[in-house]
């Protein structure tokens, strides 16, 4: 792409607004010093990079006569039908940048990022994109008159190397190296993780192989097992167990179904055992235990009642004897009390007995009375006159009662024992009957029951034996099925082992290949360590013929006519020197300033600059900008330069400024369009005022006559 137009205001010499058509492959700026030519060229650098390093940043670039106090510039770059518009402005405080391309616009840092992406992605690797971009433009696009000899005179050998290194994009190689190194580290880590996976797969494989070895190798006849399987299920069906005969013994659930059925057979057997034991016990009870004889309960009850009556009669007799004895004792007590009262009265009368009666005062026989009284007082009377029953009568009556009561108790005891026996007999009969009923026998616990029980126990014995056989066969079938399962497991294990071995092999192959890749990356990294320097050397060697062509065209020195950019290394630091050689004498110098005059050095500097522009295409800007490149070149070299510029315009948009009107005219003539696609513009800077340069644009006419002499032959 190349410059197509530019608009400026407030930038250095361009105080006012100016708009210039740059859509030409050759543009000549002619005008006296200070008329604004360099400002115009600097504005290209400023718009693209935000600074003109040899002058300064935004604030240093604003025209003192800017009506707004700021600077504005819009540069349109184009190639074919596509174009990009870069606008930069500085309002005295801050800078703004916009980048418009293919209908999309970005601003600020995004705009600069887009600009770098389009112009020079390698700048991103440098860390200071704007400075790197400015340096790249200065080194290969825009040769500023103050910096013409910077490369060969001002720069040191190392600075030249670094400048070329940056220009050829060696930083991109360093970025490549860093990325590769980082990726190799990650790659190694990932490979190590795969190695760990290999160990796990290997361990899993060992486990599978151990499991395989643990499986029995005994052959199993599936047909035979199928027959036994069918027979077994038919047999267990007789016990009410649901048959799974339709299920294949090789089916995955066969073992579970069989195990369940075997448990149910065991349950049946336990139930049969329980019933058998119960029947056997019942039989024992029926056969071995003698029946209880029922006593004559009625006679015992009659005896008991008679005994009770005897007791009652004895009680009555005893009571009668005891009542008579009590009456006699009462009468005796009454007599005793009456005698005691008479004695007391006799004694009292004796004390008070006189001649006369103390009560009636009558006379009486006192002697007789006294005698009588004394007798009374001395005698207690005849209590035995009352007869009481004899003591043995009560004892006899009491003994009779006790004997009657004992006889009654014995009779009652005998009755209770008899009643208990009857109850026991009833209970036993009920128990046997109940037990018989519980086993399904309806009838009395008699001999018939015993016969029936004996038949049933025999049946139960057979069933239990059958259950035992079924259980044993079920266990054997379970083992057989397990073997079928083992056979299935063996097949599955064999597949798993094969799969694991394949996986292991694939992983080992992958790791081996990854290690090959890693080793390749290591070798590449080793090569890259020197690659940046080697690229510089390679690139400079590549452009040597071009530099030689350019230098020969300008031809500034009569003897030192061969030139090359020589690369050397001191340790890992590269150096670049411009080496001149007199091919006739063989003399060589790495210090051109020692053999070239100032103007010749300018010729060499311009040659190197143009070689870098044409040979090291750092930026996709197909332009070469030369700000007053004469720099005291003598006429011969000047003509050589013009010849060269004529050739360069075939490859680059050429923008040349000069303060020399003759040189300007010469350029206009020598760069005239000779083909339809060519266009040459001449801007004549007539003067400068506080509003900016006074500009006139001329378009050099197309020269339609290519050959004037050779074509006249016809």
Partner 1 sequence: MATEFLTDGGYRQVPSEVIEPHELAGARVFEDSYGVAAVVVFESWDELVISWPDYQSGLVELMSRHLPSVEAKAWEGYLVLLTSGSAGEAAQDQASAIRYDMTRVRKLVGAGAELQSLSGLERVLRPLLPLKPHALTSESASAVDLLPDLLGSDDLPREAVRVAVDAFKNSKSILDALYRSERSQ
Task: Give the nearest distance from C-beta 170 to partner 1 in angstroms.
Answer: 5
Q: Using the minimum distance from each CB to partner 1, give the nearer residue, 65 or 569.
A: 569
Separation CA 266–CA 37 (nearest Å): 115
Task: Give the nearest distance from C-beta 651 to partner 1 in angstroms.
Answer: 6
Separation CA 680–CA 703 (nearest Å): 11
Q: What is the largest CA-CA distance in the chain?
A: 240
| Tokens (6 digits) for 467 | 């259950």
Place of tokens 């992605």: 121
Residue 276 backbone zone (phi > 0: left; psi -120 to 50: alpha; other: beta): alpha
Separation CA 256–CA 478 (nearest Å): 9
> Is residue 358 helix, strand or coil?
coil
Separation CA 128–CA 410 (nearest Å): 136
Q: Using the minimum distance from each CB to partner 1, give the nearer residue, 481 or 642.
A: 642
Q: Using the minimum distance from each CB to partner 1, give the nearer residue, 63 or 533.
A: 533
Task: Give the nearest distance from C-beta 533 to partner 1 in angstroms.
Answer: 10
Q: Using the minimum distance from each CB to partner 1, give the nearer residue, 303 or 648.
A: 648
CB atoms near residue 68 (< 10 Å) = 15
| Tokens (6 digits) for 395 | 């004892």
Separation CA 365–CA 344 (nearest Å): 21
Q: Using the minimum distance from each CB to partner 1, give the nearer residue, 120 or 239.
A: 120
| Tokens (6 digits) for 128 | 């200071």
Residue 36 backbone zone (phi > 0: left; psi -120 to 50: alpha; other: beta): left
DSSP tag of 301: H
Task: Give the nearest distance from C-beta 573 to partner 1 in angstroms.
Answer: 18
Task: Give the nearest distance from C-beta 583 to partner 1 in angstroms.
Answer: 7
Task: Give the nearest distance from C-beta 185 to partner 1 in angstroms.
Answer: 10
Q: Using the minimum distance from each CB to partner 1, give the nearer residue, 371 or 674.
A: 674
Place of tokens 């433009």: 137
Q: Using the minimum distance from each CB to partner 1, give the nearer residue, 345 or 559.
A: 559
Q: Using the minimum distance from each CB to partner 1, give the nearer residue, 398 or 546.
A: 546
Q: Using the minimum distance from each CB to partner 1, give the nearer residue, 369 or 549.
A: 549
Nearest to 333 by CA among 410, 388, 291: 388
DSSP tag of 151: I
Through-space distance between the first and last CA atoms of the chain, rounded to whole angstroms: 42
Question: Within 13 Å and on the Cβ side, how many CA atoms surround 106?
Answer: 14
Task: Give the nearest distance from C-beta 67 to partner 1 in angstroms.
Answer: 42
Task: Give the nearest distance from C-beta 133 to partner 1 in angstroms.
Answer: 16
Place of tokens 């009555």: 316
Q: How far is CA 304 from the centre of its chain?
A: 98
Task: Give the nearest distance from C-beta 488 to partner 1 in angstroms.
Answer: 38
For strands 104-107 and 142-143, give the pairing: unpaired
| Tokens (6 digits) for 559 | 């003897």
| Tokens (6 digits) for 603 | 């010729």
Task: Give the nearest distance from C-beta 168 to partner 1 in angstroms.
Answer: 5
Place of tokens 């209908």: 103
Question: Within 13 Å and on the Cβ side, how many CA atoms surround 114?
Answer: 18
Q: Using the minimum distance from each CB to partner 1, give the nearer residue, 416 or 542.
A: 542
Place of tokens 């600059």: 609
Contact 40, 9 (CB under 8 A): no
Q: Using the minimum distance from each CB to partner 1, give the nearer residue, 328 or 521.
A: 521
Nearest to 704 by CA among 673, 679, 666: 673
Task: Give the nearest distance from C-beta 176 to partner 1 in angstroms.
Answer: 5
| Residues listed for the chain | 714
Q: Using the minimum distance from each CB to partner 1, give the nearer residue, 122 or 473.
A: 122
Task: Give the nearest distance from C-beta 166 to partner 1 in angstroms.
Answer: 10
Nearest to 8 by CA among 83, 86, 79: 86
Q: Using the minimum distance from each CB to partner 1, give the nearer residue, 698 or 703.
A: 703
| CA-atom Rg of the chain in angstroms | 73
Task: Give the nearest distance from C-beta 510 to partner 1 in angstroms.
Answer: 9
> Is residue 418 helix, strand or coil?
helix
Q: Using the minimum distance from each CB to partner 1, give the nearer residue, 181 or 273.
A: 181
Task: Give the nearest distance from C-beta 521 to partner 1 in angstroms.
Answer: 6
């Amino acid at each position: 792409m190349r410059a197509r137009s530019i608009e400026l205001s407030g930038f250095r010499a361009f105080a006012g607004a100016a708009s210039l058509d740059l859509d030409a492959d050759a543009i000549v700026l002619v005008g006296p010093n200070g008329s604004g030519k360099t400002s115009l060229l600097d504005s290209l650098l400023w718009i693209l990079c935000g600074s003109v390093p040899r002058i300064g940043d935004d604030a240093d670039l604003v025209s003192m006569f800017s009506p707004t106090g700021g600077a504005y510039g819009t540069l349109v770059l184009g190639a074919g039908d596509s174009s990009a518009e870069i606008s930069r402005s500085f309002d005295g405080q801050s800078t703004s940048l916009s980048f418009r391309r293919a209908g999309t616009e970005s601003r600020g840092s995004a705009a600069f990022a887009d600009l770098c992406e389009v112009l020079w992605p390698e700048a991103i690797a440098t860390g200071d994109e704007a400075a790197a971009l400015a340096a790249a433009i200065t080194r290969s696009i825009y040769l500023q008159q103050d910096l013409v000899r910077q490369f060969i005179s001002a720069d040191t050998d190392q600075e030249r190397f670094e400048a070329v290194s940056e220009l050829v994009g060696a930083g991109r190689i360093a970025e490549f190296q860093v990325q590769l190194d980082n990726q190799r580290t990650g790659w190694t880590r990932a490979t190590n993780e795969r190695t760990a996976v290999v160990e796990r797969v290997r361990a899993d494989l060992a486990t599978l192989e151990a499991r395989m070895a643990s499986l029995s190798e005994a052959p199993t006849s599936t047909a035979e097992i199928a027959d036994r399987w069918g027979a077994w299920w038919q047999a267990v069906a007789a016990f009410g167990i649901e048959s799974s005969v339709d299920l294949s013994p090789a089916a995955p659930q066969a073992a579970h179904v069989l195990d369940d059925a075997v448990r149910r057979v065991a349950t049946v057997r336990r139930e049969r055992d329980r019933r058998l034991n119960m029947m056997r016990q019942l039989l024992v009870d029926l056969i071995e235990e003698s029946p209880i004889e029922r006593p004559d309960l009625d006679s015992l009850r009659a005896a008991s009642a008679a005994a009770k009556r005897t007791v009652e009669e004895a009680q009555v007799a005893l009571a009668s004897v005891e009542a008579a004895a009590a009456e006699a004792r009462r009468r005796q007590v009454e007599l005793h009390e009456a005698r005691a009262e008479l004695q007391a009265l006799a004694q009292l009368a004796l004390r008070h007995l006189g001649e006369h009666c103390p009560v009636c005062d009558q006379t009486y026989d006192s002697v007789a009375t006294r005698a009588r009284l004394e007798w009374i007082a001395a005698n207690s009377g005849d209590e035995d006159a009352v007869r009481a029953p004899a003591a043995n009568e009560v004892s006899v009556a009491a003994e009779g009662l006790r004997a009657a009561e004992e006889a009654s108790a014995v009779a009652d005891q005998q009755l209770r024992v008899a009643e208990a026996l009857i109850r026991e007999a009833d209970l036993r009969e009920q128990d046997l009957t109940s037990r018989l009923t519980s086993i399904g026998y309806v009838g009395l616990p008699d001999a018939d029951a015993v016969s029936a029980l004996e038949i049933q126990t025999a049946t139960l014995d057979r069933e239990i034996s059958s259950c035992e056989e079924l259980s044993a066969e079920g266990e054997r079938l379970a083992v057989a099925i397990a073997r079928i399962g083992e056979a299935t497991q063996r097949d599955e294990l064999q597949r798993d082992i094969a799969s694991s071995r394949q996986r292991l092999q694939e992983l080992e192959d992958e790791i081996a290949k990854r290690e090959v890749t890693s080793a390749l990356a290591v070798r590449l990294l080793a090569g890259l360590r020197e690659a940046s320097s080697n690229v510089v050397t390679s690139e400079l060697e590549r452009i040597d013929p071009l530099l030689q062509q350019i230098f020969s065209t300008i031809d500034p020195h009569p003897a030192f006519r061969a030139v090359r950019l020589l690369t050397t290394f001191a340790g890992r630091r590269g150096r670049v020197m411009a080496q001149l050689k007199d091919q006739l004498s063989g003399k060589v110098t790495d210090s051109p300033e020692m053999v070239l005059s100032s103007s010749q050095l300018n010729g060499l500097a311009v040659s190197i600059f143009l070689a870098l522009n044409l040979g090291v295409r750092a930026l996709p800007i197909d332009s070469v900008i030369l700000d007053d490149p004469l720099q005291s070149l003598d006429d011969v070299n000047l003509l050589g330069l013009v010849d060269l510029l004529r050739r360069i315009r075939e490859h680059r948009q050429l923008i040349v400024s000069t303060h020399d009107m003759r040189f300007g005219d010469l350029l206009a003539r020598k760069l005239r369009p000779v083909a339809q696609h060519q266009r040459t513009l001449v801007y004549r800077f007539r003067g400068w005022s506080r509003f900016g340069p006074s500009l006139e644009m001329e378009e050099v006419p197309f020269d339609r006559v290519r050959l004037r002499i050779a074509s006249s032959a016809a």
